[in-house]
Structure 1
Amino acid sequence: MHSSIFQISTKPISKENYITEETFIGGDFSFYDYCANMGEEERKEAISNLVTCLLPKEMFEQTSEDTILYKGGVEQWKAEFVANVRKKAEAITIESMLEWGPVYAIEKALTNPLDTYYHFYLNDDCTNTYAETSLSFVKFVCGLEPGTKFYVGGVVDYHY
């Protein structure tokens, strides 16, 4: 399966510091089978899909090819996260605690609250060799003030 890794920062990211397929070192503990650079049109489409298909429209707006405006609303997002985790926790019973489904569902809700295979690289200087699940992106947004712009740098396709 394929998905995308988005480089996100509150500062503009120079093209020299965009993530590329080379950013993510393979090895025994790598999540990715392989990564591939995207062309400019694919990158633009991926950013548009991030804003229009994954992120809540009332909270985010794409203001340019590389810029996303956070409009506010994280409190509602947090409330929905907590309600979702509680609902999934209620499904875990003494009888089901050893079953894969209910335990996996709560693990997924905790580590990937946006329920996406998109990963996020929250560094503007390209010094990390890994990207993170949507939990890190949600935490990033929780630290923003309404009206904050954030920038998308490189976008890399990955296979898992």
Structure 2
Amino acid sequence: MHSKIFQITQKRVEKDCYLNEDTLMQGAGSFFDYCGEIDEEERQLHIENLVNGVLPKGMFEFVSKDTIRYLGGADEWKQNFAKAVRLKAEDVIPEKVQEWIGPVYQLEKFLKNPLDTGYWFYLDENGVQSYAEQSYEFLREVCGLEPGTLLYIGGVIDYHF
């Protein structure tokens, strides 16, 4: 399957530091089979989908094609996240602990990726980090931002897993 990885930082990323198809560890021992570049039209389509369809509604707005503004909402997101974790944890009972795709797996999956998206996030503005992360790490970073903070979108690449 394919999805996208977004480089999102608090400083504008120079093009030579953009996440690219060679930045991340790929192949054996990695979640990603391979990564690939995408064209500008597909890049913009996925940025728009990220902001308008994937990220929590009302938390972000476009400033320009590569810039989004955090509007606030982290406290509400944290409350909803904690409530959802508790509800999912209630399903973890002794009789279901060993189920293949049971409540333990569902809880683990939710803790890593509360947005339930195939999109991953690369938070390094220098382009030297060798890994991307699922949505929890991005949202954890967002929770430390002040409303009005600008975030810049650098490289956006395709990945296969």
TM-score band, normalised by shorter chain: over 0.9
In structure 1, distance between residues paired with 2:80 and 2:2: 27
1:67 — aligned with what? 67
- Residue 95 of structure 2 corresponds to residue 85 of structure 1: no
- Retained in 1: the 8 A contact 2:27–2:33? no
- What secondary structure, in the 3-state scheme, does the structure 2 residue paired with 1:35 have? strand
Could you list the structure 1 runs, at least 4 aligned residues long, displaced by more than 4 angstroms after superposition.
none
- Retained in 1: the 8 A contact 2:25–2:32? no
In structure 2, distance between residues paired with 1:88 and 1:59: 24
In structure 1, distance between residues paired with 2:27 and 2:42: 27
1:125 — aligned with what? 126
Q: TM-score, normalised by structure 2?
A: 0.96
Identity %: 54
In structure 2, distance between residues paired with 1:30 and 1:108: 17
1:11 — aligned with what? 11
| TM-superposed deviation, 1:115 | 1.0
| TM-superposed deviation, 1:25 | 2.8
Question: Which deviations, in whole Å up to 9, do the C-alpha atoms of 1:49-85 show, x marking residues without a partner?
Answer: 1001101231110111000100001001001101111
Structure 1, gaps ≥5 residues long: none
Root mean square deviation of aligned Cα: 0.9
| TM-superposed deviation, 1:98 | 1.4
Structure 2, gaps ≥5 residues long: none
